Structure 1
């Protein structure tokens, strides 16, 4: 059996992804520690590839594309190849699929096109996952969290900021550190008004600071931004830290992100109207810490208006984050 691909190899390729759109970062597939003619690769967008050298195209119709798997005949500088590719979200399925294809070609010495066609047939149900669309409110919330991650947290803490992003874990606050929490709210309204859906959401944890970030976006078919553009910008910042990039993508997948969303038509387009940072203190509009709903009331939602509330400028906010995390080096 071939030695790979394995998750660590994808992580290595992710850390060295090319800048050019048509370039590939590659690693050879090995058998008992020796290189084989096959290789795995990753492109600028993070798509996973298996490259199998061939002398010709398929004798008949090529294997069909599946949801999350593409089969192509390509001519590279090194020669002709069968190119199998899948989005990053399909890594858990694509990895064993590639190993089976590589075994068929390298160990069993089967004709490459026939081996690929047979393996695609065997795995076709695995590449047809049921995926529900991402709700618009989830997209809006994620957009705000990614804006804060890439515009404030990563500039302050470097790639380690990813590990403080707790929004995908449904915690009380969206960013959680040892001395500082951040709550991010995003609105499509024309005013900085936000709905608070938990009694404890604006309570300051004991011995810590709490910052509130208000993000205002305008949804428009002509908007230049989408959740995908925010993700891509964040990935670019994390390119040098493979572990942090993997953790980031795992969080995105847990929230329902899939590369298929890019072409599905479900992505909201928007423009960023602005973002403001506030210290949650005695003057911040919120329910008192000791507030308890009457017996029988199991949930309370209320709306806060931040108009005319003093806000921190960017340098102040950056300083607060860094001061609360003295052990990090940005």
Structure 2
């Protein structure tokens, strides 16, 4: 566990900031007397525990790295209350944590099902394909949260991810240029079939945690990843919510978007007054690319 002194007089009161091996954030507060308050319950990944370190008792305020913004605000209030105002550590911490938990409980936790389906597909491709090939630099190549044309921009290869709960490779195309590759670039479409079921072993929460674990040694990549998932509507408040969907991956296939791919022609001009078009493509009769070929193309696109 990496440990740092707390600024603003916190170190003088025996307070320490820490990051453990799994990326969780900690504020350790030395207890000089038996705690006078009951610890608040766990909520949204925020936990309070008692620890004995080198024969000294500590109160440990813990949050996952994905909850860094909330954790920073709580820590600032705890440090000010204990180190500056001299309040009793356990009572002050319990009161502050409960206040933040109440605010979180009353906040919006809903993420639409369609948004969850789409994001699960992108994160699954990030975890299963891009990270193993490229390491933490894959986080930078994930362009979907910035609402660019394609979900990944990997050198000369662009990748669009389409997720569906149907049992066949059919997808809605929501932008007229979504199946167009920039000049000199190639475009791959990854079709992810998901089965939504209460017994599913994949959720947004599990994927986010697994990706953060993969990049735990690169704090810049972690911060960028957290920012991106929050941009597309993720909140840790969804973790305990019944609105969090669970999935199995039924099938995944990768297709080359070439002249044989079903799409609107590049030269199509929409009539005056029509500003957007949505249409559905079926990929049932198209040959898919092999896994080795896809991996070789991504690696080659990122070669120095």
Q: TM-score, normalised by structure 1?
A: 0.81
**Unmatched segments (≥5 aa) in structure 2:** none
SS of alignment partner, residue 93 of structure 2: helix
Q: How far does residue 42 in structure 1 lie from its aligned partner after superposition?
A: 3.5
Q: d(CA) in 2 for partners of 1:259 and 1:119?
A: 19
Q: How far does residue 249 in structure 1 lie from its aligned partner after superposition?
A: 1.1
Shift in CA distance, 31/294, structure 1 to aligned 2, threshold 3 Å? closer
Contact 1:66/1:127 (8 A) holds in 2: no
Alpha carbon RMSD of aligned pairs, Å? 2.8
Q: d(CA) in 2 for partners of 1:202 and 1:149?
A: 20
Q: d(CA) in 1 for partners of 2:2 and 2:104?
A: 24
- Residue in structure 2 matched with residue 152 of structure 1 by the alignment: 129
Q: Deviations over 1:97-140 (max 9, x none)?
A: 42343244345544323543675688788656732411111111
Contact 2:47/2:61 (8 A) holds in 1: yes
Contact 2:40/2:48 (8 A) holds in 1: no
SS of alignment partner, residue 291 of structure 1: coil
2:171 counterpart of 1:201: no
Q: Deviations over 1:206-227 (max 9, x none)?
A: 1111111111111111212111
Q: TM-score, normalised by structure 2?
A: 0.87
- Residue in structure 1 matched with residue 28 of structure 2 by the alignment: 51
Q: How far does residue 64 in structure 1 lie from its aligned partner after superposition?
A: 4.9
Q: d(CA) in 2 for partners of 1:233 and 1:66?
A: 21
- Residue in structure 2 matched with residue 265 of structure 1 by the alignment: 242
Shift in CA distance, 209/119, structure 1 to aligned 2, threshold 3 Å? same
Query: Which of 215, 225, 229 is 2:192 aligned to?
Result: 215
**Unmatched segments (≥5 aa) in structure 1:** 1-23
Query: Which of 247, 271, 274 is 2:251 aligned to?
Result: 274
Query: Which of 272, 278, 283 is 2:260 aligned to?
Result: 283
Query: Which of 48, 51, 76 is 1:72 aligned to?
Result: 48
Q: d(CA) in 2 for partners of 1:154 and 1:120?
A: 35
